[in-house]
Chains A and B, each alone.
Chain A
Amino acid sequence: MKLKDSLDMSKFPVERIRNFSIIAHIDHGKSTLADRLLEMTGAIATTGNNKQVLDKLQVERERGITVKAQTASLFYQHEGQTYLLNLIDTPGHVDFSYEVSRSISACQGVLLIVDANQGIQAQTVANFYLAFEAQLTIIPVINKIDLKNADPERVEKQIEKVFDIPKEECIRISAKLGTNVDQVLQEVVKRIPPPSARVDEPFKALVFDSTFDHYRGVVASVALFGGCVSRGDKIVSAYLGKTYEVNELGVLRPDEHPTETLYAGQVGYVIAGMKEVKEAQIGDTLYLQKQPVEALLGFKPAKPMVFAGMYPVDQSEYSALHSAVEKLTLNDSSVSVQRDSSLALGAGWRLGFLGLLHMEVFNQRLEQEYNASVIITAPTVPYKAVLSSAKLIKEHGTETITIINPAHFPERSQVTEFLEPMVMGTIIAPDDFTGKIMSLCQSRRGVQKNMFYIDDHRVIMKYIFPLNEIVVDFYDQLKSMSSGYASFDYEDAGYETAELIKIDFLLNGRPVEELTTIVHKERAYSSGKAMCERLQESIPRQMFEIAIQAAVGSKIIARETIKAYRKNVLAKCYGGDITRKMKLLKKQSEGKKKMRRIGNIDVPKDAFINVLKRK
Chain B
Amino acid sequence: MKLICRYFLKKHVLECKRTSIGDILLRSVATCLPPHADKASLYVHWPYCLKLCSYCNFNKYIPRSQNHAVMTECLQKETETLLQLSQISRISSVFFGGGTPSLAQPSTIAAVLKTVSKHAHVSDDAEVTLEVNPTPSGRASLRDFTLAGVNRFSIGIQSLNDDYLRTLGRDHDSQHALQTVSEARMLCPGRVSVDVMFALPGQSVKSWESELKKLLPVCDDHVSLYQLTLERGTRLFKQVERGELSMPGDDVTAVMYQSAREVLEQAGFLQYEVSNFSKNNAVSQHNLGYWRGQQYIGVGPGAHGRFVPRAVGGDQREARTQALEPDVWIREVQRQGHGTRRRIQLDHHGLLEEVLVMGLRMNEGINQQHWMLFSPEADLYQIFGMSDNIQELQSEGLLILDDRGLRCSWEGLALLDSILPTMLLELEKFLQSRGMIKTRYDNKKLT
Binding site for B on A (CB under 8 A): 541-544, 563, 565-579, 581-583, 585-586, 588-589, 591-593, 600
Contact = CB atoms under 8 A, between A and B. Distances in A.
Interface in B191-224: 224
28 contacts: A542-B418, A543-B415, A544-B396, A566-B251, A566-B254, A567-B258, A568-B417, A568-B418, A569-B274, A569-B415, A571-B274, A572-B226, A574-B58, A575-B95, A575-B97, A575-B298, A575-B304, A576-B296, A576-B298, A578-B354, A578-B358, A579-B304, A581-B357, A582-B441, A585-B417, A586-B353, A586-B442, A592-B425
Contacts of A581: 357
Contact of B290 (A543, A573, A583): A573
**Residue among A543, A544, A572, A575 with the highest chain B CB neighbour number at 10 A:** A575
Contacts of A591: 421
A565 B255 CA distance: 11
Contact of B275 (A541, A543, A572): A572
B104 interface: no
A593 B421 CA distance: 10
Contacts of B258: 566-567
A194 B421 CA distance: 76
A571 B227 contact: yes
A571 B58 contact: no
B229 A571 contact: yes
B414 interface: yes
B53 interface: no
Given A577-B304, A592-B422, 9 more contacts: A543-B415, A566-B258, A568-B415, A571-B226, A576-B43, A578-B290, A585-B357, A589-B422, A591-B421
Contacts of A544: 396
A570 to B, nearest CB: 6
A583 B396 contact: no
Interface of B: 43, 45, 58, 95, 97, 224-227, 229, 250-251, 253-255, 257-258, 274-275, 290, 296, 298, 303-306, 319, 321, 344, 353-354, 357-358, 361, 392, 396, 398, 413-422, 424-425, 428, 441-442
Contacts, number: 110
A585 B421 contact: yes
Contacts of A586: 353, 424, 441-442
A585 B275 CA distance: 18
Contacts of A567: 250, 253-254, 257-258, 414-415
Nearest to B389: A600
A569 B417 contact: yes
A588 B396 contact: no
Contacts of B296: 576
Contacts of B306: 576
A569 B362 CA distance: 12
Closest 3 CB pairs of A and B: A566-B254, A567-B254, A589-B421
A605 to B, nearest CB: 16
Contacts of B303: 575-576
Contacts of B305: 576
A115 to B, nearest CB: 47
Contacts of A542: 418
Contacts of B418: 542-543, 565, 568
Contacts of A568: 414-418
A576 B290 contact: yes
Contacts of B251: 563, 566
A544 B357 CA distance: 21
A604 to B, nearest CB: 12
Contacts of A572: 224, 226, 275
A569 B414 contact: yes
B304 A565 contact: no
Contacts of A543: 396, 398, 415, 418-419
Given A576-B304, A586-B441, A571 B275 contact: yes
Nearest to A564: B415
A425 B417 CA distance: 55
A575 B226 contact: no
B38 to A, nearest CB: 19
Nearest to A577: B304
Contacts of B354: 578, 582
A542 B422 CA distance: 12
A510 B199 CA distance: 37
B413 A569 contact: yes
A574 B97 contact: yes
Nearest to B319: A579
Nearest to B393: A543
Contacts of B420: 585, 588-589
Contacts of B422: 589, 592
A571 B198 CA distance: 10
Contacts of B321: 579
Given A569-B417, A589-B421, A583 B442 contact: yes
Nearest to B300: A575
Contacts of B226: 571-572
B229 A582 contact: no
Contacts of B319: 579
A289 B296 CA distance: 89
A571 B223 CA distance: 13
Contacts of B424: 585-586, 589
Contacts of B442: 583, 586
B414 A592 contact: no
A566 B319 CA distance: 33
A567 to B, nearest CB: 4
Nearest to A542: B418
Contact of B353 (A575, A577, A582, A600): A582
Contacts of A570: 227, 229, 274, 417
Nearest to B420: A585
A600 B391 CA distance: 11
Nearest to A541: B250
B417 A582 contact: no
Contacts of A575: 43, 45, 95, 97, 298, 303-304
A565 B258 CA distance: 13
Nearest to A580: B304
A579 B343 CA distance: 11
A477 to B, nearest CB: 33
Nearest to B358: A578
Contacts of A576: 43, 290, 296, 298, 303-306
Contacts of B257: 567
A48 B275 CA distance: 74
A582 B357 contact: yes
A584 to B, nearest CB: 9
Contacts of A583: 441-442
A279 B392 CA distance: 59
A396 B323 CA distance: 71
A566 B414 contact: yes
A540 to B, nearest CB: 10
B289 to A, nearest CB: 9
Contacts of A563: 251
B357 A578 contact: yes
A451 B119 CA distance: 98
Contacts of B250: 541, 565-567
Contacts of B358: 573, 578
A60 B378 CA distance: 64
Contacts of B414: 566-569
Contacts of B254: 565-567
A541 B250 CA distance: 11
Contacts of B398: 543
A574 B195 CA distance: 12
A541 B249 CA distance: 13
